[in-house]
Amino acid sequence: MLRLLAEQSGLRQASPATLRRVLLNAPARLVRPARKRLTRLDDTHPHQTDLILAWNKIHAMVTPP
């Protein structure tokens, strides 16, 4: 499943262990300003765009049209 999330990124050929390490162990902080749930990612993380792309794909699957 993680490989499908990283389909269009530079992680396409990564092993499952690398995908878990990069996508699931990212330094981030959960914040709640104005009663909204937000995730703040570290700006220096090398795979920040991959994480955002994966999150957008997950959100598109869950959100009804």
Residue-wise pLDDT tens digits, 5-62: 666 666 777 788 887 887 778 888 889 999 888 888 888 888 888 788 877 887 888 7
Task: Identify the pLDDT of residue 52.
Answer: 82
Task: Identify the pLDDT of residue 19.
Answer: 78
Task: Identify the pLDDT of residue 44.
Answer: 86
pTM: 0.63
Q: Is the pLDDT of residue 65 over 70?
A: no
**36 burial via Cβ count (<10 Å: 0-12, 13-18, 19+):** exposed
Task: Identify the pLDDT of residue 7.
Answer: 64
